[in-house]
A and B are shown apart, each in its own frame.
Chain A
Amino acid sequence: MTEEIIIAGFGGQGVLSMGKILAYSGIMQNKEVSWMPSYGPEMRGGTSNVTVIISDERISSPCLNQFDTAIILNQQSMDKFEHSVKSGGLLIYDPNGITDHPTRKDINIYQVAATDKASEIGIMKLFNMIVLGGFLKIKSIVTPEMLHKGLEKSLPARHHHLIPDNEKAVEIGKEILKPYHLL
């Protein structure tokens, strides 16, 4: 198994930390992992993306131009990465703020309305975990137990009391995920 993922959105949406939690969970499950961020001025509010690879084998390149899955959280990222999904692959996006919806017919596309849901129930800080839940529903590459361990590893101890909330957000993501175009 090798899963090559791009997560892309605005800086501040938790793109990098979502990737990190996924990578940590992968490690807990004895997988090989790689987490390669875009870095630089993007950190301060522009677009931000991270390539996460989880695999049973040694990972070749941490930098990729084609992905099994794209998780897209703003229009700029949609423009940039819709066509980087491998044929037959997966695209998950939050429709909030998306004006040009994806048009690919050779991939599976799902919507996860995480922004709306998070603001509705007042958990904006856990927005990224809702998105992650959506992804894990389709591709359960890490088990809930390993995700728990991954959260423990990636969050500083002073935030460990928030882990149940994070896990709840993941479950919400799984519930609200809906298909947009299926093969």
Chain B
Amino acid sequence: MSKELRLMKGNEAIAEAAIRCGVDGYFGYPITPQSEILEHLMAEKPYEKTGMVVLQAESEVASINMVYGGAATGKRVMTTSSSPGISLMQEGLSYIAGAELPALIVNVVRGGPGLGTIQPSQADYFQTTKGGGHGDYRLITLAPSSVQEMYDFVELGFELAFKYRNPVMILSDGVIGQVMEKVEVDDYKPRWTDEYIKQNFPWAAFGKLPTRNHNIITSLELDSSKQEQVNIRIQSKYKECEAKEVRYEEIMTQDAEYLFVAYGSSARICQKAIELARSEGIKVGLLRPITLWPFPSKALKALGQKMKGILSIEMSAGQMVEDVKLAVECRVPVEHYGRFGGIIPTPTEICEALKKVIAK
């Protein structure tokens, strides 16, 4: 069956994907620039189409804890927000990771710190990939750079979340949330049945079975030696994730002498900068991390060795650039160029920044 083609905002694509891939529940609180997600869900009445629950919670704190509750029963549940709201969710994220629950969270990042601005930013990279909440945990982080990827990463996100029993974050920003592009949408898939959940997720608290003791979902373990074992198990899961789930895209790297590293909307702007630079004879390519955690360090190390210089482009004061430097082990000069506070760098600016790197 041919897929249906739609013109959609990135935010709407998230909502549409959630309905069509059979998500059980969405719990969220409006915040710019991602309110279209909840608006679209409410307009589409998924509770009539697939039985999906959609609830506007009283806060982001409530939202993430509703997600925790839903996930504890083995259901596919998600929330979305933007930077200040995601900060409020950090405690809940730590609990979800600690209790080893699958869940999907979307952050359509805006400029900070504080209330900041509603314009696009990528300054939540540290918060997302290095923790944010307390304790040794990681968020599997997907960085879409198109509306189609916003759509596709919802189902992929749930797949990874259930595979590793760990929260997955789609780290987007105001550009990808607000831009309209073509999207291929799938047919509606049915939600998982209770029987399917019982068979496949025996750990979940969906109601006691006569054949087993009660299931408990908790992140509490007062015995430190047991809690250390919990941590060791979680870390081994992360090792597996690092080995198997790295995703990235290389663009025009074949003959490149210089390399941009950029994700999300910055990666799109870099592609225009590559057009401009190549028209002036500068051989530059792009490595676009798709998973920010696990970060494509090995690929970057291998590719970086062939480069005269690397320029990390982010809408931040320089966060991912630290991982870029670690990946290439300082064997290649690595510079950062970024705009922040909601300002989007222009392709021309990026080109100029590259020329400065070349001149060094």
Contacts and interface: CB of A to CB of B under 8 A. Distances in A.
A and B touch in the complex (CB under 8 A): yes
B268 A62 contact: yes
B348 A60 contact: no
Interface of B: 5, 7, 32-33, 118-119, 174-175, 178-182, 265, 268-275, 344, 346-349
B33 A40 contact: yes
Contacts of A33: 7, 180-182
Chain B interface mostly helix, strand, loop or mixed? helix
Interface of A: 20, 23-24, 27, 32-37, 39-40, 59-66, 153-154
A61 B181 CA distance: 12
A32 B119 contact: no
Contacts of B119: 40
Given A34-B180, A39-B118, A63 B265 contact: yes
A79 to B, nearest CB: 18
B179 to A, nearest CB: 5
Contacts of A154: 7
A60 B272 CA distance: 5
A20, A35, A37: which has the most chain B beta carbons within 10 Å?
A35
Nearest to A16: B180
B179 A27 contact: no
Given A62-B175, A65-B346, A40 B180 contact: no
Contact of A60 (B5, B179, B181, B271): B271
Contact of B182 (A20, A32, A39, A65): A32
B182 A61 contact: no
16 contacts: A20-B180, A23-B7, A23-B180, A24-B7, A27-B7, A39-B33, A40-B32, A40-B33, A59-B181, A60-B271, A61-B269, A61-B347, A62-B179, A63-B175, A64-B272, A154-B7
B118 A61 contact: no
Contacts of B269: 60-61, 63
Nearest to A84: B346
Contacts of B32: 39-40
B347 A64 contact: yes
A35 to B, nearest CB: 4
Nearest to A41: B118
Contacts of B348: 65-66
Contacts of B346: 63-65
Nearest to A34: B181
B7 A61 contact: no
A63 B145 CA distance: 12
A24 B6 CA distance: 9
Given A40-B119, A64-B346, 8 more contacts: A20-B180, A33-B182, A35-B179, A59-B181, A61-B268, A61-B270, A61-B272, A64-B272
